[in-house]
Amino acid sequence: MSLVKLSYTEFEGTTRHWEIDQATFSDINLIVGKNASGKSRLMSVFATLTRLLSGQQQQLPFEPSSFLIELQLNAQVFIYQLVLKEGSVISEQLTIDGEEKLVRGENGAGKIRYEKEGRFLDFQLPLTVLAAVNRLDKIQHPFLMELHQWAKGVALYLFGSDFGKSQVMGITEAEVFYRRSSSSLIWCMILPTL
Q: Could you tell me the pLDDT band of residue 158, with boundaries at 50, 70 and 90?
A: low
pLDDT at residue 194 in the model: 38
pTM here is 0.81
Instruction: Work out the end-to-end distance of the chain between its first and last CA atoms, rounded to an integer number of angstroms.
Output: 35
CA–CA separation, 143 and 145 (whole Å): 5
Contact at 8 Å (CB) between 56 and 34?
no
d(CA 137, CA 124): 16
Q: Tens of pLDDT along 52-65?
A: 999 999 999 999 99
Q: Distance between CA 109 and CA 122 in Å, rounded?
A: 7
- Residue 70 has a CB neighbour count (10 Å cut-off) of 19
Q: Could you give the CA distance from residue 80 to residue 68 in angstroms, rounded to a whole number?
A: 6
Torsions phi, psi for 62 (to 5 deg): -85, -35
pLDDT at position 37, please? 82
Residue 116: pLDDT above 70? Answer: yes
> Mean of the per-residue pLDDT values for the chain?
84
Say what the pLDDT of residue 182 is: 42
Quote the percentage of the chain above a pLDDT of 70.
Answer: 80
Q: Residue range 33-56: average pLDDT? A: 88
Q: Tell me what the mean pLDDT of segment 142-149 comes to.
A: 94
Per-residue pLDDT, averaged over 109-125, amounts to 95
pLDDT band for position 178 (cuts 50, 70, 90): low
- Which of 1.10.3470, 3.40.50, 1.10.10, 3.30.160 would CATH assign to domain 2-193? 3.40.50
Q: Does residue 188 or residue 24 have the better pLDDT?
A: 24
Mean pLDDT, residues 19-36: 83
> Taking the domains of the chain in order of start, what are their residue ranges?
2-193
Average of pLDDT values for 145-149? 94
Q: What angle do CA 129, 90, 2 make, to 5 degrees?
A: 70
